[in-house]
Structure 1
Amino acid sequence: MNTPELWQFTSSHFNEKARWALDFKRVSHIRHSLIPGFHVPAVKRMTGKTHVPVLKLNGAAISDSSRIIEALEAAYPDPPLYPSDPDQRRRALELEDYFDEELGPYIRRWIFHVILPYPKFVRAAFVSHASAAAQLAQRAMSPLIGVIMRRQMDISPATAEIARNKTIAAMDRLEHELQPSGFLVGDRFTVADLTAAALLSPLVRPPEFPYKTPAPVPEPLAKIRDAVATHPAYKWTLETYRQHRGESAEVTAQSSAARIKTDASQTATTGR
C-alpha cells in the first residue's frame, strides 16, 4: 500500500477535519500544503474540482472531508470513528452532516468577513509554510484573491450576520446534543465530535491546532472570541482538542520533497 497523501490548506477547518481523522487513526501520511488561489491547477488535475482537502489513498483521489473519513474507516477501521451500534452510527453520521452543512460554510464566511481586511494575518495563516518567492507572489495577488474569495463565499455584511447567527445556532445545537458522557453520541469519541470540534476551530483556535499562525489575532476576531468564550460549545471544543487531538501522523518522503515545493507555489478557496 502506498503512503496516503493529503493535499490541504494549513488553516482550513474542513482540511483540519480530514487531517485529524488521519492523525486519530495513526495513519502515516504525506502532506502537501497548498496556497489558496494558486492551488487550482494541481487539485483540478486530481479531481476535476478545485476544493481541498484531497486524499490520495490506494490510487484514488478522494475529495470532501466526509468521503475521506468514510474511506479511512474502510481502509483503517481501528480505532473507529463510526460507532458499531447501528442507531448510534446513524446518529453520528446525521450530526456530521448537520455540522458540515449548517456550521462549516457559515463559520467560514463569518470569520473571513472579519479577517480579510487584515491581509498580513491571512497570509500568516495560509502562506507562512511556503517559500519566500511563493509568499511574495501571494502578497502581490492578495487584493485579487480577496475579491475572488468574497465572491465565491458570498461575503458581505448582510451574509456575514446571517453566518454569525447560523454559527451560534450550531453551537447551541451542539450544547443540546451533548450526552452525559461529554460526547455527542454514546460514550466515546466519534466522527460527530471530530467534525464539530474541527469546524469550530477557526473561532476557538485551540492550542492543539497543528498549525500556529505567526501573527497577532486581529482585534475584531479577538472580540468575537471573547464574546462567545463562555458558551458551552466553545469550552467543549477546547476540552475535546485537549483530550483527543493527539500527535501528527505526518511523515516526510524525500521523493516527494521537490513536488511539495512546486505545488506549494501553486494555488480552491473553499473546501469540504
Structure 2
Amino acid sequence: MDTPELWQFTSSHFNEKARWALDFKRVPHIRHSLIPGFHVATVKRMTGKTHVPVLKLDGNAISDSSKIIEALERVYPEPALYPADPDQRRRALELEDFYDEELGPYIRRWIFHVILPYPKFVRAAFVSHASPAAQLAQRAMSPLIGVVMRRQMDINPATAEVARSKTMAAMDGLERELQPSGYLVGDRFTVADLTAAALLSPLVRPPEFPYKAVAPLPEPLVKIRDAVSTHPAFRWTLQTYREHRGESAEVATEASAFRIKRDASRTATTGR
C-alpha cells in the first residue's frame, strides 16, 4: 500500500479530527496543507467536492472526517477508536455524529465571525506554511476571500449569536455525557472523545494542537476564551489533548521537514 496522503487546512477543526486519528493510530502519512480559497481546483479533481480533509488511502480519495476515520478503522484497526462492545460503539458513533452536526459547524461560524476582521491572524493560522509567493497571493485576495467565507458560512452578527448559543449548549451537553471514567463512552478514549475535543480546539486552543499560531490572538477571541475557560468541557478538552494527542505520524517530505523545523523554532520562541 502506498503511503496515505492527507489534504488539509492546518487550522481547521474537522481537519484536526482526521489528522488526530492518523496520529493516534500511528499511521505514517504525507500531509498536503492547502490554502483556503486556492484549494478548490485541487480538491475538486480528487473528489468532485470542494471541502477538506481528503485522505488518499489505498488508491481511494475519501472525503469527510467521519468517513476517513471509518476507513482507518478498517485498514488500521489498532489502536481502535470504535469500542468493541456493540452498545458502546453505537453510542460513540451517535456522539460523533452529534458533535459533527451540532458543534462543528457552529463553533466554526462563531470563531470566524470573531477572527475575520483580523486578516493578519487569519493568514498566520491558515497560510503561514505556504511559500512567500502564495502568501502574497492570499494577502492580495483576502478581502474577497473574507466576503466569500461570510457568504458560504452564513456569517453575520445574528447567525454568530445562534452559533455561540449552539456551541455553549454542546459544551453543556458534553459535561452531562462525561462518564465517571472521564471519557464520553465507557472507560477508554474513543472516536467520541476525539471528535468532541478536536471540534472544540478552535476555542480552547490546546498547547498540543499541532500547528502553532504565529500571531497574537485577536483581543475579542482572548476575551471569549477567558470567559469560558472554567467550563468543564473546556478543561476536559485541555486534559484530553494532554493525555491523548500524542506525536505526529506525518512523513517528513522535504517541504514538511522545513515546516516542522520552522514550527519548532516558533514554538521555542513564543514559549519564552
TM beyond 0.5: yes
Alignment partner, residue 197 of structure 2? 197
Alignment partner, residue 43 of structure 1? 43
Alignment partner, residue 59 of structure 2? 59
Give the match's secondary structure for 2:84. coil
Give the match's secondary structure for 1:241. helix
Give the match's secondary structure for 2:206. coil
Report matched runs for 1:29-108 at 5 Å: 29-108=29-108
Give the match's secondary structure for 1:120. helix
Bigger RCO of structures 1 and 2 (CA < 8 A, at least 6 apart): 1
Aligned partners of 2:157, 2:115: CA distance in 1, in Å?
13
How many equivalent pairs are there? Answer: 257
Unaligned runs of 5+ in 1: 258-272
Alignment partner, residue 218 of structure 2? 218
Alignment partner, residue 266 of structure 1? none
Aligned amino acid, residue 168 of structure 2:
I
Query: By how many angstroms is 1:191 displaced?
Result: 0.1
Unaligned runs of 5+ in 2: 257-272
Aligned partners of 1:228, 1:88: CA distance in 2, in Å?
30
Report matched runs for 1:120-269 at 5 Å: 120-253=120-253
Aligned amino acid, residue 166 of structure 1:
K
Give the match's secondary structure for 1:95. helix
Aligned partners of 1:228, 1:82: CA distance in 2, in Å?
30
What is the identity percentage for the equivalent residue pairs of Structure 1 and Structure 2? 86
Aligned amino acid, residue 59 of structure 2:
G
Aligned partners of 1:234, 1:253: CA distance in 2, in Å?
34
Question: 1:181-234: per-residue Cα shift (whole Å, max 9, x none)?
Answer: 000000000000000000000000000000001000000000000110000000
Query: By how many angstroms is 1:69 displaced?
Result: 0.1
Query: By how many angstroms is 1:252 displaced?
Result: 2.7
Give the match's secondary structure for 2:161. helix
Alignment partner, residue 16 of structure 2? 16
Give the CA RMSD over aligned residues.
Answer: 1.1
* Poorly superposed stretches of 4+, deviation over 4 Å: none
Query: By how many angstroms is 1:253 displaced?
Result: 3.9
Question: 1:225-259: per-residue Cα shift (whole Å, max 9, x none)?
Answer: 011000000000000000000000000346x98xx
Query: By how many angstroms is 1:94 displaced?
Result: 0.1
Aligned amino acid, residue 116 of structure 2:
L
Give the match's secondary structure for 2:31. strand
Aligned partners of 1:218, 1:77: CA distance in 2, in Å?
41
Aligned partners of 2:253, 2:187: CA distance in 1, in Å?
38
